[in-house]
Structure 1
Amino acid sequence: MNNINNDSKNNIEVWEDLVNIKDLVISLIICSVTTMGAYFLAPKQPPKPLLFGLSGAILGFVICSIVIKPKRVFIETDKEN
C-alpha cells in the first residue's frame, strides 16, 4: 500500500491515464527542442518550415519512445473466475 501512495505522488492524470511527471517533462523538452530546432533550421521558403517542424516533431516522438520505456503492466485473468 505504501508503494501505491508513493507512486501516486509522482504521477498526474492526463486524459484519464496516470503519467509520471519526470517522464512527461523529459518528453516535452525533447519534443520541443527537436521541433523548434528543425523549424528554425529550415530554409525560409513557404512550405519548408512546416515540413521541417513536423519532421522534428516525429523525430522527437521516436527519441522519446526509445528513451522512455512504458511502465504499464497488464495482468490477464480468466473471465470464468
Structure 2
Amino acid sequence: MTLQRRDQSDTIEIWDDVVRIRDLILAIIINSLTTLGGYFAAPDDPPMPLLFGLIGAVTGFILSSFIIKPKRTFEENESER
C-alpha cells in the first residue's frame, strides 16, 4: 500500500504526517473553544470543571473530524512476499 500526498505549499509536517496549516489552525480553535466552554460552563464543585473540560475536548475532536476531511489517498499495490 502506498501513500500519496498532495504537494502543496501551505502544508507543514507534524509527527511524520503532512497537514494543511488552515486545517490545523481551525482544529485548534474548535478544540480550544469547546474545551474552555465546557470548563467555564461547569459547576464550581471540584471534579466537575475537569469532567466538563474533558467532555468539551472530546466534543471538539468529534466536530473537527466531521469538518476537516483527510487529504490522503491510499492505493493498494500487489507485491511479492
TM-score, scaled relative to structure 2: 0.89
Report matched runs for 1:1-81 at 5 Å. 4=7, 7=8, 9-80=9-80
Deviations 1:19-51 (A, max 9, x none): 110000000000000000110010110000000
Gaps of 5+ in 2: 1-5
> If each structure's helix is expressed as a fraction of its own residues, which one has the higher value?
1
What is the identity, as a one-letter code, of the residue corresponding to 2:62? V
> If each structure's strand is expressed as a fraction of its own residues, which one has the higher value?
2
**How many aligned residue pairs are there?**
75
- Provide the aligned C-alpha RMSD in A: 1.0
Structure 1 moving runs of 4+ over 4 Å: none
Deviations 1:33-79 (A, max 9, x none): 00001100101100000000000000000100110111110011010
